[in-house]
């Protein structure tokens, strides 16, 4: 595999507070472009909080305060002058529970490109929808029922619909917050295969509780514990020979 | 690195069982070699038959342990130090089984030897075999202690075995050249000494596996020859 050295996201001394409670403590890390980075750690360790810093999702929580610096493509995003709408068009997100809009399959994917004005004509929009569904590996299963509601699909298909919706606005980064924890093993395998393909074009950050999944899909792994980044590095190294005892204890199932 | 137990206690039990089985397997193999050497010493063909029979016990134990190991892999999907321990145990089990085969081969040679084996090289082979047996016992101890330093020490012991191997080889060649009538008997001894030399190599493999399981690093990274100097403890 060709190593790339382009840093896509660079976090420095990121602190997050929910009111008085500190959720993240001086997190610094670089995330490379077109790689999959897995964030692992026990519940409440701050991994999802960190993920949500990257697309400013924490803005939606009134009591949440984020300080420090996160740069995406060398541009500061933790700043009052950041254009959050344009930032989010660059960063797609997929959640634990598939959450399609109560709309047709077609409209679920068409919604983003429409509001961002990415399509000039109806056929442009159709092209985007079809390409996105194809990239998400869903097109063949739904091509004859694009007008049916998104919610009529199976859980795994709904999750791929959400991925198609995320990539329809042509993002560069995809954040995934436990995207497979509500899915059966087959649907999980399909998503993992998809992540493998998406990695060629997107920078992916995935929060997962499944250690095996982190080992399977990611090139880099970051272990969080009690709001701190304990260890980060090559996934293969972390799962065979981690440097830190806490990492070792967590991934071997000794505490958590 | 001393560790807390797993949250799932039965996982601890399974790993403990596997470690115990490796130690039991080691003891069986050690006994097999000890018996084979005894058998050579006394030219006891009846005893040789028993030893050959006993190899089945080792093979059975190998299969049982192999089964436990594949089960724990499937069931627990071990990670980090657990993964390294299981991975090494798989290899150690196989190498011990093979050492058992080589020990048995010595007894097989005694069983078919209708000729008188020359005294001096026989005695030297027995001495060499005893040294190999110490290596086996030490490598099992290193596994039990989970010590990479001890494993490295055992690895070094093979140098002496290789030297003895060459010494006995030369000795046997001289015997054969001096008296071609002895060729048949000396060939038997030649095989035995080769068996012992191979056993030393397998112990080295086991030492390397232990070293990796403990440290997470290979004993040799392939960038240099594993020479005596290269692996001596660094001077402080």
A45 CA to chain B: closest CA distance, Å? 18
Nearest to B6 among A212, A240, A254 (CB): A254
Q: Do A256 and B7 touch (CB under 8 A)?
A: yes
Residue A1's SS3 state is coil
**H/E run at residue A50:** helix A47-54
Evaluate whether residue B236 is within a structural domain: no
Instruction: For residue A247, give the chain B residue with the closest CA.
Output: B80
pLDDT of B234 over the 90 cut:
no
Instruction: Report how far residue B24's alpha carbon sits from residue B17's, in angstroms, rounded to the nearest whole number.
Output: 10
Instruction: Report how far residue B173's alpha carbon sits from residue B189's, in angstroms, rounded to the nearest whole number.
Output: 11
Q: Regarding beta strands A36-40 and A203-207, do their DSSP bridges make them parallel or antiparallel, or are they unpaired?
A: parallel
Instruction: Report how far residue A215's alpha carbon sits from residue A234's, in angstroms, rounded to the nearest whole number.
Output: 10
Summarize the confidence of residues B54-81 as an average pLDDT.
Answer: 96
Q: Name, in order, each residue with C-beta under 8 angstroms of B31's C-beta and a sequence gap of 6 or more.
A: none
All residues of chain A having their beta carbon less than 8 Å from the beta carbon of residue B7 are: 253-256
Residue A61's SS3 state is coil
All residues of chain A having their beta carbon less than 8 Å from the beta carbon of residue B6 are: 252-254
All residues of chain A having their beta carbon less than 8 Å from the beta carbon of residue B5 are: 254
In the structure, what pLDDT confidence band is assigned to residue B236 with cuts at 50, 70 and 90? Answer: very low
Instruction: For residue A253, give the chain B residue with the closest CA.
Output: B6
Q: Give the distance from CA A89 to its chain's centroid.
A: 13
- In the β-sheet with A91-94, what is the strand arrangement from edge to edge? A91-94, A173-177, A203-207, A36-40, A220-225, A228-234
* CB-based contact A160:A138 (threshold 8 Å): yes
Is the Cα dihedral B167, B173, B175, B178 positive or negative?
Answer: negative
pLDDT of B63 over the 60 cut:
yes
B161 CA to chain A: closest CA distance, Å? 33
Nearest to B79 among A245, A251, A255 (CB): A251
B24 CA to chain A: closest CA distance, Å? 26
pLDDT of B55 over the 60 cut:
yes
Instruction: Report which DSSP code applies to B115.
Output: S
All residues of chain A having their beta carbon less than 8 Å from the beta carbon of residue B217 are: 241
pLDDT at residue number A213:
95
All residues of chain A having their beta carbon less than 8 Å from the beta carbon of residue B81 are: 248, 252
Write out the two tokens for A23: 């959720």
Q: Do A251 and B80 touch (CB under 8 A)?
A: yes
**The domain that contains B147 carries what CATH number?**
1.20.58.220
Evaluate whether residue B160 is within a structural domain: yes
pLDDT at residue number B230:
45
In the structure, what pLDDT confidence band is assigned to residue B116 with cuts at 50, 70 and 90? Answer: confident
For chain B, the domain total comes to 1
Q: Do A252 and B8 touch (CB under 8 A)?
A: no
Evaluate whether residue B207 is within a structural domain: yes
All residues of chain A having their beta carbon less than 8 Å from the beta carbon of residue B77 are: 212
pTM of model > 0.90:
no
All residues of chain B having their beta carbon less than 8 Å from the beta carbon of residue A241 are: 80, 84, 216-217
Q: Regarding beta strands A220-225 and A36-40, do their DSSP bridges make them parallel or antiparallel, or are they unpaired?
A: parallel
pLDDT of B37 over the 60 cut:
yes
Evaluate whether residue B142 is within a structural domain: yes
Is the Cα dihedral B44, B47, B49, B55 positive or negative?
Answer: negative
Evaluate whether residue B87 is within a structural domain: yes
Instruction: For residue B3, give the chain A residue with the closest CA.
Output: A249
A238 CA to chain B: closest CA distance, Å? 7
Q: Name, in order, each residue with C-beta under 8 angstroms of B224's C-beta and a sequence gap of 6 or more.
A: B230
Domains of chain A, start order: 7-251 (3.40.50.300)
Domain that holds residue B54: 9-231
- With CA atoms as reference, report the closest residue to A37 among A222, A180, A200: A222
Task: List the single best residue of A208, A209, A211, A252 to mutate versus B (max B Cβ within 10 A).
Answer: A252
Q: Do A254 and B216 touch (CB under 8 A)?
A: no
Per-residue tens of pLDDT for chain A, all 256 residues: 455 579 999 999 999 999 999 999 999 999 999 999 999 999 999 999 999 999 999 988 999 999 999 999 999 999 999 999 889 989 999 999 999 999 999 999 999 999 988 999 999 999 999 999 999 999 999 999 999 999 999 999 999 999 999 999 999 999 999 999 988 999 899 999 999 999 999 999 999 999 999 999 999 999 999 999 999 999 999 999 999 999 999 999 997 4
Evaluate whether residue B1 is within a structural domain: no
ipTM of the complex: 0.81
Evaluate whether residue B2 is within a structural domain: no
Q: Per CB distance under 8 Å, which residues of B are interface residues toward A? A: 1, 3-8, 11, 77-84, 216-217
pLDDT at residue number B49:
95
Nearest to A242 among B6, B11, B80 (CB): B80
Nearest to A255 among B7, B77, B84 (CB): B7
Evaluate whether residue B4 is within a structural domain: no
């Amino acid at each position: 595999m060709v190593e790339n050295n382009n840093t896509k996201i660079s976090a420095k001394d990121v602190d997050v507070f929910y009111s008085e409670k500190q959720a993240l403590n001086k997190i610094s890390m670089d995330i490379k472009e077109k790689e999959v980075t897995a964030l692992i750690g026990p519940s409440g360790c701050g991994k999802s909080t960190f993920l949500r810093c990257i697309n400013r999702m924490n803005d939606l929580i009134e009591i949440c305060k984020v300080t420090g610096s996160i740069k995406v493509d060398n541009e500061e995003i933790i700043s009052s002058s950041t254009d959050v709408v344009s930032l989010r068009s660059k960063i797609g997100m997929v959640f634990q529970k598939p959450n399609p809009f109560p709309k047709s399959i077609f409209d679920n994917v068409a919604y983003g490109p429409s509001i961002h004005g990415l399509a000039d004509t109806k056929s442009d929009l159709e092209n985007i929808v079809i390409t996105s569904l194809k990239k998400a590996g869903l097109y063949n299963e739904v091509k004859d029922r694009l007008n049916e509601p998104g919610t009529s699909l199976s859980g795994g298909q709904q999750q791929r619909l959400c991925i198609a919706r995320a990539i329809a606005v042509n993002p560069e980064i995809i954040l995934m917050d436990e995207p497979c924890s509500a899915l059966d093993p087959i649907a999980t395998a399909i998503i993992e295969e998809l992540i493998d393909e998406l990695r060629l074009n997107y920078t992916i950050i995935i929060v997962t509780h499944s250690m095996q999944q982190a080992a399977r899909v990611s090139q880099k792994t970051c272990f969080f514990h009690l709001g701190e980044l304990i260890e980060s590095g090559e996934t293969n190294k972390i799962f065979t020979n981690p440097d830190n005892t806490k990492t070792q204890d967590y991934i071997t199932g000794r505490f958590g | 690195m001393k560790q807390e137990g797993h949250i799932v206690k039965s996982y601890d039990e399974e790993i403990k069982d596997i470690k115990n089985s490796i130690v039991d397997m080691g003891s069986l193999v050690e006994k097999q070699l000890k018996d084979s050497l005894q058998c050579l010493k006394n030219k006891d063909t009846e005893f040789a038959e028993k030893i050959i029979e006993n190899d089945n016990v080792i093979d059975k134990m190998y299969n049982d342990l192999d089964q436990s190991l594949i089960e724990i892999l499937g069931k627990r999907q071990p990670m980090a130090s657990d993964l390294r321990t299981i991975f090494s145990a798989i290899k150690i089990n196989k190498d011990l089984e093979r050492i058992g085969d080589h020990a048995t081969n010595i007894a097989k040679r005694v069983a078919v030897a209708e000729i008188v084996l020359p005294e001096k090289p026989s005695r030297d082979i027995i001495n060499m075999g005893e040294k190999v047996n110490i290596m086996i016992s030490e490598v099992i101890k290193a596994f039990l202690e989970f010590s990479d330093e001890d494993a490295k020490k055992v690895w070094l012991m093979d140098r002496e075995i290789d030297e003895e191997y060459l010494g006995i080889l030369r000795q046997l060649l001289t015997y054969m050249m001096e008296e071609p009538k002895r060729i048949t008997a000396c060939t038997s001894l030649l095989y035995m000494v080769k068996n012992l030399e191979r056993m030393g190599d397998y112990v080295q493999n086991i030492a390397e596996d232990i070293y990796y399981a403990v440290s997470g690093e290979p004993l040799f990274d392939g960038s240099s020859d594993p020479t005596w100097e290269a692996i001596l403890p660094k001077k402080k």
